[in-house]
Structure 1
Amino acid sequence: MDEFDPFEGMTDDELDAMVSDLGSEPDGFAGEDGFRSGFVALVGRPNAGKSTLMNACMGTKMAITSPVAQTTRRRMRGVVRREGVQIVFVDTPGLHKPHDSLGSELNKSALAELGDVDVLCFLIDASQPIGRGDAWVAERVAKSPAKRILVLTKADLASPERVLEQISAARELCEFDDVIVLSATERFNVDSFIDLVASYLPEGPKWFPDTMSTDASDDTIVAEFVREKLLMRTREEVPHSVGVICDSMERRRGVLHVHAVIYVEREGQKGIIIGKKGEMLKHVGIDARRDLERIFGCKVFLELEVRVKPNWREDAREIRRLGYAADE
C-alpha cells in the first residue's frame, strides 16, 4: 500500500506557510545524558481517536476501540519506551454532555487527569467541524498547567484545506505549545508525535519497570475486550447499557479459565446479546478469546454469562463495582 500523504498537491509556499504556522522546536530539549520521563494525557471528545492513537504509539492493541461513542470507560496507562525516554500515555474517556450518572463519572475521570500530567494532548478529529463540545473541552484544557499539544487526528479523512481550517479554529479556543497532524490508522506522523511528546518531558525516573506495558489489571483487560466485542456486534441502545466484570481467572495446565458477567438494563437487551440459540454470545466469546490469547500468550477458555441489572447506569454502587467510577 502506498504511503499516505495528507498534504499531497500542496505547493511549496503553502507547505512552508503551514510549517511556520505550526511553530518551532520546544525550548529546553535535554541532552542525551538526562533520562526523560513523564505522563501524557490524551483528552478530547468521544471518537476523537484517543485509544487508537495510544495503541499506535504502543505498537500493539491494549486499549479497546469501536465506532460507538464513549467506548473508553476507564483511564488506562500505556508505557512507550525510546532510548533515554519513558512515556506514560494516559487514555481517558471522551468528554461529553452526560445523560446519566455513568456519564458524569466518565467526565470526572477524564477531567481529573488535566492537572496531573506533564503533557496534555488535546485530540480533535480533523474530518469533523469543531463544535461547542470541543470548545467546552478547550476551556478545561486551557486551565491545565501542563504543556499543551494540539493533535489533529484522522488526517487521512480530511483535505489539507480542512486540516488548516481546523488548526486555525482550534487555536481560537486555546493556546498550545505545539501542533501536530497525524493519522493513527495509517501511522502517518505517529513516530513524530512520540518524538514531539518526548521533547517536552522533564528529566525523571522510570515510573514503570521495563517488563510492564500497562497498569490495567488482567481482569480489567478481560472485561474491556469482552465489552469491545459486544459494542462491535450490537447496535442502537444496547452498547451504552452494557457493563462487564470479570469475576474469576484461574490458570490450569497451561490454560487460562476465565468467567465474565455481562450486565444489561432490560430483559430485551439480554435476549439480543444472547441471540438466537445463543449464537450472538458465542461469537462475542470467540472474538474476545482471540484477543485475550494474544495478550496473555496462552490458550483461554472463556465463559460468559448475561444478567439484568435495571438502571445500573444511575446506581453509584453498581458503577463503582463495575470499575467505572472516577476514582477507580
Structure 2
Amino acid sequence: MCYMDNSIKSSTISRKDFRKSLKKMQRKKRRQKAAKELTNKVEIEKKKRLEDPQHQQWLKEQNDLEQKEKLQQEADEQAWLQREKRAQQQFQRDQERLKEVEAAQEKLKLKQQEYMEKLKQKQDEEKRVETKTANEFEHIMQRLEEYLSNTAAQAPSVLRTFVETRPYQQLCAFYERTNCCRYGLSCQFNHRRPMLSTILLIRNFYTHPLLKQSHHAEYECGDPALELNERDLREDYDAFFEDVTTEMLHFGKIVNFRTVRNLQTHLCGNVYIEYMQERSALNAFISLQGRWYAGKKISVEFSNLNTWRGAVCGMCE
C-alpha cells in the first residue's frame, strides 16, 4: 500500500498560485503605466492643440456655429409658436364663424318654418274664401235661375247689392263714369259694380287694326292707317254689329248698343249692351258666360253707368 505526502502537494500549489498572482500584478502595473502614459500623452496633445492658433480659431468657429444654430433654433421655435398661436386664433375665429353660420342657418330655418306656416295659413284662408265664394256664387246662380223661371217674382234683395273691391276706400271717379279703370284691381280706390242691371259690359269685345295702340312703334312693321281708313273701320264695325245684335236679340229687346273706340287698353273695344228689361240682361249674362267669339273667350259683367253722356271722354266731344 502506497501513501502520498499532502504537505508537499500543498506547497507546490501555493508557489504556482503565487507566480500566477505575481504575473497578474505585473500585467496590471504595465497596463496602468501604459494608461498613465497614454493619458499624459493625450493631455500633452490636448494642451498643444489648445495652444495651437488654428485649433483655437476652429474652436471659435465651432462656438459661433453652435451659437448660430442655437439662435436659429430659438427663432424657429418662436416662429413655430407664432404659427401655432395664429393657428389657434384662426381656429377660434373659424369656430365663432361656424357658430354664427349655424345660428344664421337656424334662424333661416325658423323663418322658413314661419313662412311655410304663414303660407299654409294663407292657402287655407284662400281655399276657405274660394269655397265660400263658390258657394255664394252657386247660391246667387240658383237665385238667378229662380228669378228667371218665375216671371211674376221680384228680383231678390241679394241681386240688388254691389260687388266692391275696396269697400272702405273712396269710390274711383273714373270707374263710376265708365266702369273701367286703367289700374284695374291694383287701383287704390273702390270699384263698385252691381249684381244685376239692364246694361251688360263685354271688355275688349270688338277688335280692329285701327284701334290698336302700339307701345313700341319702332318695332312695328307698318302703320295700319296707311292701308286702312275710317270707311274700312265702319264697314267692319257694321258687320260686327249685325253679327252680335242678331244673337243678342234672342234674349230680349236692346235699347242701346255702344262700342268704345278709345285706344287705351282698358277701354279699347269695350261693348255696352243695354236691354229694356233686367230679365233679358240677366238671361244674356247667364247664356254668354264662357262662350267664345273670334277666338277669344267672352267675359260678361253688369254695368251701372249713370249716363251715356257722362261716360264720353271730354276730348271726343
TM range (shorter): under 0.3
TM-score w.r.t. structure 2 length?
A: 0.19
Highest RCO, 1 vs 2 (Cα 8 Å, sep ≥ 6)? 1
TM-score w.r.t. structure 1 length?
A: 0.18
Larger radius of gyration: 2
**Structure (1/2) with the larger helix percentage:** 2
